[in-house]
Amino acid sequence: MILWNDPKISRWFFSGLVLLLLLLIVLVVLLPVSPASVAFPSRDSGVFLYTGWRVLHGEIPYLQIWDHKPPLIYYLDAIGLAMTPGSTWGVWLVEIVSLWLAAALGYKVLNKLYSLYVAVFISFLWLFSCFYLLAGGNLTTEYALPFQFALLFFFQKAENSRDYGWRGFVIGVVTALLFFIRQNEIAIAIAIGLFLLIKRISQREIKKLLTDSITILAGGLVVTSIIVGYFALKNALPAFWDAAFLYNFFYSDARGTMDRVNALIQGMNQLENAGLAQIALLGWGSALALLCFKTDRIAADHRSFLWVAIIALPLEFLMVSIGGRPRIPYFMALLPVFTVFAGFTIWVLMDSLLRDIPKFAGAALILMMVGTLGWVIAADYVEISDSLRQPGGDQAVIAYIQDKTNTDDYVLMWGAETSYNFATRRLSPTRFVYQTAFYTGYEQKNTLVQFLNDILSKRPKLIILTGEDKLSDFRFVHRDNQVGALMDEVKNRYSSVIKINNWQVFSDPSQ
């Protein structure tokens, strides 16, 4: 009893209880994408898992496996696969830790800004909004969340302390890590930079601007130097730059303005399912109005934080739609800033409704709101969970690969089907584990020639194509006599042996 009456001990106990509650919510959200439900990875997840598997065998991304995402996703998957060799349960554990850290940091930010009740309800709201965007899990946007929330958390700490110091250094570190998970998710970091620039210049604090900037840049440069230095030492820096940067510039430029607008609309439709988008946009407008016309309604130590979030939201809209593709998981990038403004809306309502009533009444209201939200999304949760439990991949193809090849045989999945290489643990004969770049026109003739020569020199036991496609260079953007001659040699060596459902299987009779 004496211990319980100690404010410090009771505060620790309550914080632990909240963190446990957040962990339970995270488990509920991620349960439908666990290996027990998603036995076969999605296309993108399959590439990350395959690359993570090969990293554990000493291979270098970009140099020996071509993909155009920044590198940290491959090493996160490698860590997960190392924890549970032979299964993806370890990767799911990495997902749990990642989302739980995001939830814990988000709760800390919300609790500091608003109140306990608001923090609990909005944490529940954004986590279940995230559920609509998971698309099978193990995607870059999911792992970016804790770093986005960490930026908000450390900026809040830095502003409240009036001294950036080591906090600025951490902001730089987190920004760099976020950049090397997904480059277009640094809107919060850009907003922090713009805010500091405007604030310090308007207050004529040029020396402080330089000090803060140098501290933040130092943190970013430390991480960047380690990552760039690693790939330079492995002679993979040109391949890294080409795939993770130049190709992404090409990828983004391929779509126009209307594609970007349509992508944003479709992504917002998913964020409206649990009401997060509507509540957040109302909060953004309300916060902007109060900061401009009724500043005294907002605590002085919260104004800087809200200004950064206000700047960040349009930047997030711009950056999340930059690819012009309505890929639902992309819109996880909006969750942290939406969380801040959804919290603002609920705080304004509760501040006016609950100002003079007992705390237990506020707790009862939040409990009712959480229960109502749970009831609203329950049907969607069951439906999406059931869809994810459907057998993934073509089990007949997987069985055929495992029956007709050994673990040291090469298997080429012609197209974008690296998930089958990972599921069967069969190596691709080429670093171009999927060949999208050859059909978009980005890769030049020399890399296409390298791809075809890899097939002829490594002699994969099987080549597997989807649909009614044939071994042909017809769809390659670069076609000439040399490419045609190499393709003819591949076709002469490999012949069709079986059709399995919608798949064509080719093999070399001489093997």
Residues whose CB is less than 8 angstroms from the CB of residue 82 and which lie 6 or more positions away in sequence, other chains included:
56, 90
**How does residue 359 score in pLDDT terms, banded at 50, 70 and 90?**
low
Q: Mean pLDDT of all residues in the chain?
A: 90
Q: What pLDDT does 6 receive?
A: 59
User: 296 falls in which pLDDT band (50, 70, 90)?
Assistant: confident
Give the pLDDT mean for 30-39: 91
pLDDT of residue 18: 87
Alpha-helical (H) ranges within 234-275 are: 237-241, 247-253, 257-271
The percentage of residues in the chain with a pLDDT greater than 70, rounded to a whole number, is 94
pLDDT band at residue 152 using 50, 70 and 90 as cut-offs: very high
Cβ atoms of 268 and 277 within 8 Å: the answer is yes
What does R_g of the chain's alpha carbons equal in angstroms? 25
Q: Does the pLDDT value for residue 480 go beyond 90?
A: no
Residue 391 has pLDDT above 70, yes or no: no
Average confidence (pLDDT) over 57-67: 96
| Confidence check: pLDDT of 493 > 50 | yes
Beta bridge partners of 500: 503
What is the structure's pLDDT at 232? 97
Residues 6 or more apart from 107 whose CB is under 8 A from it?
18, 22, 119, 120, 123
Judge whether 492 and 473 are in contact, CB under 8 Å: no
pLDDT for the residue numbered 511: 76
pLDDT(95) > 70: yes
Give the pLDDT of residue 373.
82
List the 495-500 sheet strands across, edge first: 411-414, 462-466, 503-507, 495-500
Nearest one of 108, 130, 33 to 334, comparing CA atoms = 130
- Strand, helix or coil at 157? helix
Joined together, the tokens standing for residue 33 give 């994408």
Higher pLDDT, 343 or 10: 343
**pLDDT of 357:** 66
Query: In this predicted structure, what is the pLDDT of residue 286?
Result: 94
pLDDT of residue 372: 82
Tell me if 185 sits within 8 A of 178, measured CB to CB. Answer: yes
Percent of the chain exceeding pLDDT 90 equals 64
What is the reported pLDDT for 353?
67
Predicted confidence (pLDDT) at residue 301 exceeds the cutoff of 90: no
Mean pLDDT of 357-370: 73
CA 448, CA 269: separation in Å to the nearest integer?
Answer: 39
pLDDT of amino acid 1: 45
Q: Which two tokens stand for residue 205?
A: 């604090």
pLDDT, one tens digit per residue, over 196-254 is 999 999 999 899 999 999 999 999 999 999 999 999 999 999 999 999 999 988 887 77
Q: Is the pLDDT higher at 9 or at 216?
A: 216
Q: How many residues are present in the chain? A: 511
The alpha helices in 132-233, defined as continuous H runs, are: 140-161, 165-179, 187-202, 206-233
Tokens of 465: 């194509």
